Structure formats: C-alpha cells, structure tokens
Amino acid sequence: MNYVDDFAAWEESFVFSHPVKVRFSETDMFGHLNNTVPFTYFEEARIEFFKSIGFMQEWVKPGNETIPVVADLQCDFLKQVFFDESLSIHVKAESIGRSSADLHYMAKRKDGAVCFAGRGTIVQISRKTGKGVPWTEGMRNLLTAGKTIHA
C-alpha cells in the first residue's frame, strides 16, 4: 500500500469507526465478499464520519451551495472476508487540501485483523459551478480533530 509508510502507526491513528455486517447478497460464487462491496462500506462509513462532525447535516440542507464528490477511490485487499462477519470500517482524514481531503479507510475484524484498506480524495464543490469550494477553518479543524468518535 503505497499510501502507508508505517502500517502499525497508521493503524493506530484512526479515531472513527462504523460497524458493518457482511450480508449474504454481498458474497460471490466463491463464498467471500465480492470485490465491489468494500467501496459501498467506505461510502457508508464516510457518510457516518461526515455526520459525526456535522458536515452531512449542512451539505443536505435545502439551498446549501456545497456538496462533496469523490474524485478517486482505491481499495487494497489483504484478507478474505466471508458472510456474516462483523467488521469495523475506520475512516480518517489523512491530509487536507484547499477544498479536498484525502480520506483513508481500514476494515478490521473483531479479532483485530485488517482485511482491506483504502484511500480516496473527496472534494467539496459548488452545486452551481462544479468548482472546488475551500474548507472553512472550522471545517478544517473538525477534519483533523484527534478525539475518538464511534458511530
């Protein structure tokens, strides 16, 4: 994973997690989690992360000018995952740009094993122009807050 230098330190640096349980419909003919599903888990956890810091509530308000869009997204598969397993999907803002943030994701089993991980860039844009809208200082502070948050 070229976006992680020190895996142990990276793993310890997450402060937000969201639980998911693997549904039968998310498995493939080989009995393991289909390779498209982690992206759905990333989306679910990302939305819960943004709710936990108050961003989603603002973005969905009628008349609000800004929305988040995913600019890129990747996943690295480390271990197989099977039906009915419980996972914690961890999310953090690894770095913050003017109107973008590089989010990192990590999926862990109950035994602590990391099953898959990923990263992706989200950009806050104007609904009207499609151009990037800078984070406010308050938003930047919330994205980098070190407090522990669990959904």
Where does the pLDDT of residue 145 fall: very low under 50, low under 70, confident under 90, or very high at 90 and above?
confident
Which residue has 């197989």 as its token pair? 80
CATH number of the domain at 7-146, out of 3.10.129.10, 1.10.3720.10, 3.10.105.10, 3.40.640.10? 3.10.129.10
Whether the CB-CB separation of 50 and 122 falls below 8 Å is answered with: no
Structure tokens at 108: 């862990």
pLDDT tens by residue, 75-93:
999 999 999 999 999 999 9
Name the pLDDT band for 99 (thresholds 50, 70, 90): very high
Question: What are the extents of the domains in the chain?
Answer: 7-146
